[in-house]
A and B are shown apart, each in its own frame.
Chain A
Amino acid sequence: MAVRCVVRERQYFDSVFLMRVADRIGREPGVGQVAAVMGTAANKELLAEAGFHCPEISGTGPNDLVIGVQGERDAELEALLARLDDWLAPERSAAEASRPRTLDQAVAQLAGANLAVISVPGQHAAREARRALDRGLHVFVFSDNVPLEAEIALKRYAAERGLVVMGPDCGTAIIAGKGLGFANVVRRGPIGVIGASGTGIQEVTTLLDRAGSGISHAIGTGSRDPSDDVGGGTTLAALDALDRDEGTQALVVVSKPPGRRTLALIRDRVARAAKPVVACFLGADVERGGAPWTVVRTLDAAATEALRLVSGGRGEVRKDGERAPQAEDATAPPAAPRRYVRGLFAGGSLCYQAQDIFGGAGIKVRSNAPLEGMLRLEDPRRSEGHTFIDLGADEFTRGRPHPMIDPRLRRERILAEAADPEVAVILLDVILGFGCAPDPGGDLADAIVHARRSGRLDVIASVIGTPADPQGLDRQVRALRDAGATVSGSSAEAARLAAAMVAGA
């Protein structure tokens, strides 16, 4: 057993600091006991008891540093003590900058906080939202799987306080130019958007941006808001707010058809509105019912109508130089047995809209999220006939990332569909914006190339995004086109093109 001691005269250190130093030295290989103490009488006794019989120690006093090490070999101990200054140097910061652990503490830290963005698991979301409302914050609840009763209670509680609950299951919003959740980088402009559907809002706002216009605010309501159970509280509050908002000249409402009673409330509100309103109800015809609004059934039509309203009658969503794709773009007219369309969607509303367009063309479609009148796909993993899959549905996202974030699932499915000799067209939506995959078009390119190579099969895609999005609209369109996909100017148009290609096949 070797023992070595070093004394540093008149170098004072706190005892706890020195215990830490000893602890660090003691972790070195070949080191036994370590002592790092000031040379007080009591400490010298301790050193002797612990077997540090070094002659250097005897003359030390309370202001002298004593370091002793025991170990296997003298040379190693010498080397350790030669690095004494390193051992005495401050430790590098290991702790990350501290974040508050609760909403309460965050509110205390952030002067003027006015909004909580909540995306915790569904069973906890209502509780956090409720606390936020208690602290006077509006809330944006991205989380889904929030019980219906909790949503109803939250919205009532918020209304009593003049606060708004966007969500639950609210994918996106743009407030005063700032995107929340999955939002695109959209120019500010005269059109206010209210939507129960995240991807629906994304499609309308990006089409407006690409047409040279922009958004005052886009307010997500949550998918269930227009149902009669919830009663449209957020939709109505948003109508009020945007009708009064100085920066807003026209309003667009996007949702599935509201419940009967809620629809009546919305109609009443629209009838009193000072500004023109366009409503896009996906999946069903809704009577205008005497209210002075324009009712459409597809997202691009909603954008076109809104543009028309703010530009004095001339509106067209496609202004970015893109050519409207034509049926002739297709490689060849599909010949039997290649006769089916397989839609693989990341956006639930886009899947819904595509079914509606096919229904309008008299084509029956199967889906894991069927529109009324369409067929439910028995096994979401196996397509049959014309099949539109919402890959963002629970059965695909439980335990794995959403296809807007992670392309793997869709890539596999493209290859699977391409291997099916009955498939004529694969229909895709590619969604850009904050929170989405960094290169969603590029991620699918290999699979598209492979699909196109495997036979006489077309791939039609739409890109939901703007040139200013982090992923870059142009870059994504190019990646898809280079891979052999036809890129349409809107999701509705992509669906119409696909329908045209298989109509009568």
Chain B
Amino acid sequence: MSERFAELLARGPVAVNVGIRDFAETLRVQGGEVVDVEWTPPAEGDPELLEILDRLL
């Protein structure tokens, strides 16, 4: 049984949006708190660097 899940349901989402920008807007118009990330593919999508980053960061 997760206390943290219960907290999420009680408090409602305070969200970080990563990806489709409309989803942040959706939350905002419903009065939700949200910060929208200006996301770009990490390491410009380079697989070798991504493998390293997964290990080191």
Contacts and interface: CB of A to CB of B under 8 A. Distances in A.
Interface in B1-57: 1-20, 22-24, 26-27, 29-42, 50, 54
Contact of A116 (B11, B18, B33, B38): B18
B8 A164 contact: yes
A148 interface: no
A138 B8 contact: yes
Contacts of B26: 179-181, 183, 434-435
Interface string A433-472: 0110000000000000000000000000000000000000
Contacts, number: 154
Contacts of B36: 99, 106
B15 A115 contact: yes
Interface size range on A against B:
35 or more
A6 interface: no
Q: Which secondary structure dominates where chain B touches chain A?
A: mixed
A143 B19 contact: yes
B23 A117 contact: yes
Contact of A127 (B2, B10, B37, B54): B54
Contacts of B16: 103, 106-107, 110, 113, 115-117, 132, 137
A504 B45 CA distance: 56
A280 interface: no
A106 B24 CA distance: 13
B38 A240 contact: no
Given A180-B27, A241-B6, A116 B1 contact: no
Interface of B: 1-20, 22-24, 26-27, 29-42, 50, 54
Given A106-B35, A127-B54, 13 more contacts: A106-B18, A107-B16, A110-B35, A127-B50, A132-B16, A142-B20, A143-B19, A178-B13, A178-B27, A181-B26, A434-B22, A435-B22, A435-B23
What 5 A-B pairs are tightest by C-beta distance, nearest first? A119-B19, A176-B12, A434-B26, A162-B2, A119-B20
